[in-house]
Amino acid sequence: MTEARANDLALALAGLPLAARLRRIRQAFEGKLVFTTSLGLEDQVLTHLIFREGLDIEVATLDTGRLFPETYALWADTEMHYGRRIRGFAPDRIAIERLLDDQGINGFRLSPEARKACCHVRKVEPLRRVLAGAEGWLTGLRASQSTQRQGTGVLGFEPEFGLWKINPLFDQTRETLADLAGRWSVPVNPLHAEGYLSIGCQPCTRAIQPGEDERAGRWWWEADARRECGLHLAAASPAPDESRRA
């Protein structure tokens, strides 16, 4: 995928409905495509479309070991509903043991640095294994999810992982996706109805309060409103430096 082709593709994708977007994405890339799902509303809609359209896109999730019971139940229900497997990737055992030795079972609350260290072991490093050998990485990011994500576009080069990052839902609203999920009978996490709009690890997620943005319940004890886990730290660049891809 050259820079010029990527720019043309981004323009084309912006004008397509979701199912057609995904088909066009699969056609545009010759290599392996991976979609990472957190099993949230956005990701469940994308999973539905990938499975319904029979697209050659691997669907994977990060099993941090600290997810809600409802999330694990939804994972099983989704596989049963579609008759397809969602690949799970767990953290490295030795890295987890070292983390626990260093900060204790809930040491991530001690400081932002400790929390980021936990996220790195449980999410970032497993993601590198998920994306190994892939040309493109599909996510459920939306520009309206939070202030930090306002700059999210449909396509850009991700230098951290050395591949193209594709956000098919970049211009969608939560209300639109909730409507689609209902009409298509997509399995969703029951915690959404209890105010958990963005769901991650159980000890790091709370229900949001009226007036808060969708991701306010993630790592709520930290003062920095730009908090992220390390998977999506910045908008991907639309113009990759070819030397970084070698």
Contact 64, 99 (CB under 8 A): no
Q: Is 229 a catalytic site residue? A: yes
Contact 173, 202 (CB under 8 A): no
The single residue of 119, 201, 204, 229 carrying the catalytic annotation is: 229
What contacts 96, CB < 8 A, 6 or more positions away? 65, 121, 122
Label residue 37 left, alpha or beta by phi (over 0 means left) and psi (-120 to 50 means alpha).
beta
Tokens of 135: 């040309």
Distances (CA, A) of 94 to 89, 129, 153, 154: 15, 16, 37, 36
Q: What is the dihedral of CA 227, 138, 235, 230, to 10 degrees?
A: 30
Residues with catalytic roles: 229
